[in-house]
Copies of this chain bind each other. A is one copy, B any other.
Amino acid sequence: MAVTTDLAIYRTQVLPEWVDYNGHLRDAYYVLVASYAADALMEHLGIDAPYRQRTHCTLYTLELHVHYFHEVKQEDLLEVTVRIIAADSKRIHAGFDVGCARLTEPAASIELMLLHVEQGESVKPLPFPAEIARALETLQAATAGVAPAKRSSRKMELRGR
């Protein structure tokens, strides 16, 4: 699998209930796997359960874009790698490649735009505290050299094929 092991943030087997009538991983479950990988990213950055309980802060997903490249079958092993595409004081633009042990290239590329918010009577965007900003900077630097996804987010439209 053409991924660098140290960027792999989440691994899972395809569960039977994730497979659709075509006999493949249903489109939405690629996204669930990326969503679990985003949870792992949060843990990695220190936005974990104790942090969330202490600060009432968490990440919200604002936007998400998926390119599907390959079918994934039941019992396939998936490995998700993460790359920080960009970040500012409150937001993370993360790229996840969903790799499959059977394939040489990713099965799907998924970009997420995540916003750090405080949950209270209303939900307010809030800058990352210093230690999380530092962890994010470190991960961004570590993944800066990773090749971008086969296809990045773009305006969806019918193109010639």
Contacts and interface: CB of A to CB of B under 8 A. Distances in A.
Interface string A69-82: 00100000000000
A119 B34 contact: no
B58 A68 contact: no
B35 A28 contact: yes
Interface stretch (A1-9, A137-145, A153-161): A153-161
Contacts of A71: 123
Interface residues of A, number: 43
Q: How many copies does the complex hold?
A: 2
A107 interface: no
A32 interface: yes
Contacts of A21: 49, 52, 58
A130 interface: no
Nearest to A52: B21
Closest 4 CB pairs of A and B: A153-B156, A28-B32, A27-B61, A28-B35
